[in-house]
Amino acid sequence: MTRTSTDPLLDHQAPDFCLPDAAGERACLEDYRGRWVVLYAYPRDGTPGCTLEARLFSDALETFEALNATVLGVSSDPPEKHAAFARKHALRHRLLSDQEHDLLVSYGTWKEKKLYGKVMMGTERSTFLIDPAGTIRAVWRRVKVPGHPDAVLETLASLSAGGT
């Protein structure tokens, strides 16, 4: 859950993306220029860890917004599944669908995983803090959910207060 200071994406322009959200509307990184973006990648809608993470980010949404930040979740689930997930848990932030894994690959979160002795491809839970100019300012890989949104908020507050 610790922030990675040596990640290859750190201090580089964030890979661009345009993806459908739960309503089927396109969300592009460039739409958020001038705002901080918290982009979190998660494995699947409805699993215990993913549900907790989404709810924690949603619960803290006003605090993120007060710091000029937008929260976006992304997984490979289709928009319809995102819509049902968001409705069931009253999520208030956008969930993006990356069924082709383009964003997940470009951000380095689509990885080989082992589960019960089987090897498969899947999403590594990760979060990226992107500044208003589109530069990745913080990266968290292999995130452990409890306390994670608070750690992101703390980093965001620190970086935004520093005039970056």
Q: Could you list the active site residues?
A: 50
Contact yes or no for 148/131 (Cβ under 8 A): no
Helices H / strands E in the chain, number of each:
5, 10
Count the residues in the chain.
164
Cα–Cα distances in angstroms (integers) from residue 118 to residues 27, 98, 153, in the given order: 34, 23, 36
Residue corresponding to tokens 């907790």: 52
Best CA proximity match to 80, nearest among 69, 88, 72: 88
32 three-state secondary structure:
helix
